[in-house]
């Protein structure tokens, strides 16, 4: 009888101990979708962005950093490929000085580095994913174009391009009268995030039967974002508050991955961005 009681106790006591162990603190993540300040010309559609190194724009970006600082981030992650995939630390951040803000328009510097420097953070991560030599593209748009031309769907693709061009023209127009904070807030509303994803989703109309280049494009785009988020998971610690500064086209999937991953909690950037 004593042996039976001892065996039962051995089973029950670890369970009771586990029940008393508090769950790990959630990892709070803010996905800040941005437009490209430096206009690198790497997208299908590229906006003509006013210089952000002017005194007026710098004051607006300081207000953005001040607002984001209220979130009390413990780490920042940016759209760069890390040479060291073990640490994933951004190799360019340690050399950053505030003087760079007057010469380097890149949003990684203007928002990510500025915010990290303001808060004294040393955890700035580079979590991007790009296809290596010999690997398929993460955005195989050429196959979509070929299918469209062969199947007489150029008007449909042209209409989709027209919608995006109109959105870019709107950005170019509004940047002359609205602050950087207000423009960023417009990019990060749930409706705008869903609308941006609609460009990719509607690509799936371009294909038929076994030849589905639009679906393949969507699959590859999802894979790139999943690789990005996997790296974020790699560096995140319980209780972290992480600001992820990324091109707005990534926001839909990155937000969805934060929302559906146990232990992570999505934080809305528009709760912190200045809109004056």
Judged by phi (left if over 0) then psi (alpha if -120 to 50, else beta), residue 72 lies in left
64 contacts 118 by C-beta, under 8 angstroms: no
Q: Which two tokens stand for residue 42?
A: 């790497």
Strand, coil or helix: 32: strand
| Alpha carbon distance, N-terminus to C-terminus of the chain | 75
d(CA 203, CA 223): 16
Nearest to 35 by CA among 55, 50, 15, 17: 50
pLDDT in tens, the chain (276 residues): 555 555 545 555 555 555 577 778 999 999 999 999 986 555 555 678 999 999 999 999 999 999 999 999 999 999 999 999 999 999 999 999 999 999 999 999 999 999 999 999 999 999 999 999 999 999 999 999 999 999 999 999 999 999 989 989 999 999 989 999 999 999 999 999 999 999 999 999 999 999 999 999 999 999 999 999 999 999 999 999 999 999 999 999 999 999 999 999 999 999 999 987
DSSP letters for 65-76 = HHHHHTT--SEE
Q: Residue 242 in contact with residue 29, Cβ under 8 Å? A: yes
What is the pLDDT at residue 23? 79
Please state whether 239 falls in left (phi above 0), alpha (psi between -120 and 50) or beta. left
CA distances from 108 to 41, 76, 264 (A): 16, 10, 23
For 172, residues 6+ apart whose C-beta sits below 8 A from its C-beta are 47, 48, 49
Is 89 in contact with 124 (CB distance < 8 Å)?
A: yes
Tokens of 70: 């209220």
Q: What is the pTM of this model?
A: 0.89
Identify the residue whose tokens are 């679906």.
Answer: 215
SS3 271: helix
What burial letters (b/e) apply to 236-264, b meaning 16+ CB within 10 Å? beeebbbbbbbbbbbbbbbbbbbeebeeb
H or E element in which residue 126 lies: strand 124-126
């Amino acid at each position: 009888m004593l042996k039976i009681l001892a065996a039962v106790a051995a089973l029950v006591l670890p369970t009771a101990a586990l029940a008393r162990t508090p769950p790990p603190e959630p990892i709070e993540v803010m996905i800040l979708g941005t437009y490209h300040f430096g206009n690198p010309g790497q997208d299908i559609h590229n906006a003509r962005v006013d210089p952000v190194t002017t005194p007026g724009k710098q004051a607006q970006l300081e207000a953005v950093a001040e607002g984001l600082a209220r979130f009390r981030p413990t780490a920042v992650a940016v759209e760069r490929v890390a040479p060291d995939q073990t640490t994933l630390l951004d190799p360019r951040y340690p050399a950053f000085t505030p003087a760079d803000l007057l010469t380097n328009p890149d949003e990684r510097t203007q928002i990510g580095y500025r915010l990290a420097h303001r808060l004294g953070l040393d955890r700035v991560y580079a979590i991007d994913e790009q296809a290596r030599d010999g690997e398929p593209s993460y955005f195989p748009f050429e196959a979509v174009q070929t299918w469209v031309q062969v199947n007489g769907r150029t008007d449909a693709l042209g209409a989709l391009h027209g919608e995006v061009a109109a959105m870019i023209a709107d950005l170019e127009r509004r940047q002359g009268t609205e602050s950087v904070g207000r423009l960023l807030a417009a990019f990060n509303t749930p409706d705008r995030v869903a609308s941006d994803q609609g460009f990719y989703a509607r690509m799936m109309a371009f294909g038929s039967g076994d030849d589905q280049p639009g679906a393949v494009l969507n699959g590859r785009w999802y894979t790139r974002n999943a690789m990005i988020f996997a790296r974020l998971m790699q560096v995140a610690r319980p209780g972290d508050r992480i600001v992820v500064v990324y091109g707005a086209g990534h926001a839909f999937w990155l937000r969805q991955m934060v929302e559906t991953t146990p232990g992570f909690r999505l934080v809305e950037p528009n709760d912190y961005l200045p809109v004056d």
